Amino acid sequence: MESLALDLPDLPTLLADLLAQVPSGCVTTYGALAEALGSEAAARWVGHWMLHHEHGPGCTCHRVVRADGTLGKFIAGRSCDKARRLAAEGVELEKERIEAIDQQSFHSFRTPRPLAALRVAQENVARRINLRGRRLMPETVAAVDVSYSGERGTGAYVLWDLEREEIAWSTTFTQEVVFPYITGYLAFRELPILLALVEAAHSAHQEGDVVIVDGSGILHPRGVGIACHLGVLADVPTIGVSKKLLSGQVNLKDMAPQEARPVLLGGKRRGTALRATDGSQRPIFISPGHRIGVEMAQRIVRRQLLGRRLPEAQYWADRLSRAAGREPASPKTWRGRNSCLEGGGSPAS
């Protein structure tokens, strides 16, 4: 099993360094900071960080505004407080808005653009994806999912017996998570936990024939979602099952319960939208990650639909990760049927 094969960047520290480069009398935007990190997709996280970072007297986060010149929120007070600080530094405003923002904006950041480097890593993984794989229904299917409590991430691995329709084995793993959630970069946030779970299953001889990942497979802006990453690095067949569509085109109008429709990318079917139940109008989106094809991925997911929106293995991985995340961090294993989680309790060790 491979590691991530690169050092993940400390984005909060790098963002703080970028902010410190903005001189007095100038402003920058959330989008400009995201681009300096290497991807405009980080703009939402930049805004979140601005409202939750460790703010002190010398902090210059008031110099970050919206692209249209409006000031946006301010961690230390109201927009008028932000306006006063900017005006005191010589920034020209009109009714709490920077009219000539292009003339007062700073863009000359010194930056390694770390997210651009991670895109290169994704491209390297993408070249290794294999969409050929098993043709027969597996005996067991595993699922992995991660839940969060503050900066702590708890992942669960659930092994589902397709014939007996029950959990055969499970385990959890908890560690601190530093890399933030940024659309298109989920793999770099969750892979350290997921790889640890797969390794634990391997060591216990409890590996599933296929692993379902809560996230995208090839239905991803760069064709390499978290299910692809896990499949390639762990060399296991993987399927991505997500609740939202990151990439591709599909008509979702008037879908009937249990109806499946192809998701197209570049005119080719690359995944499936599937409305699982009568009770849920929202479909799930299924795409292969590695060592499996589009049609087989759909068949395996459909085989586990027992009245819920999610396939059973994925449903229980979600439940187990949430339950374990509320407890002190320690590895857990669990065998048997599902009753202890149905009542909201946590699995026994």
Is 61 in the active site?
yes
Comparing CA positions, the residue from 315, 312, 292 lying closest to residue 302 is: 312
Question: What three-state secondary structure class fits 238?
Answer: strand
Per the CB < 8 A criterion, the answer to whether 296 and 273 are in contact is no
Task: Please tell me the distance from the alpha carbon of residue 253 to that of residue 5, in angstroms, as a whole number.
Answer: 42
Q: Which amino acid is at 169?
A: W
- Give the separation between CA 331 and CA 128, rounded to whole angstroms: 32
Which among 61, 80, 228, 340 is annotated as catalytic?
Answer: 61
3-state secondary structure of 289: strand
- Say if strands 238-242 and 210-214 run parallel, antiparallel, or are unpaired: parallel
The DSSP secondary structure of 10-66, one letter per residue, reads -HHHHHHHHHHTSPTT-BEEHHHHHHHHT-GGGHHHHHHHHHHS---TT--GGGEE-
- Rounded CA-CA distance 298/342 in Å is 26
**Sole residue written with tokens 């292969």:** 288
> H-type helices in the chain, by residue range?
11-20, 30-37, 43-52, 79-88, 101-104, 114-126, 186-203, 226-234, 294-303, 312-325, 339-342
CA 296/CA 147 separation, integer angstroms: 28
Instruction: Determine how β-strand 284-290 pairs with β-strand 332-334.
Output: unpaired
Quick one: which of 194, 206, 198, 200 has its CA closest to 139? 206
Residues catalogued as catalytic: 61
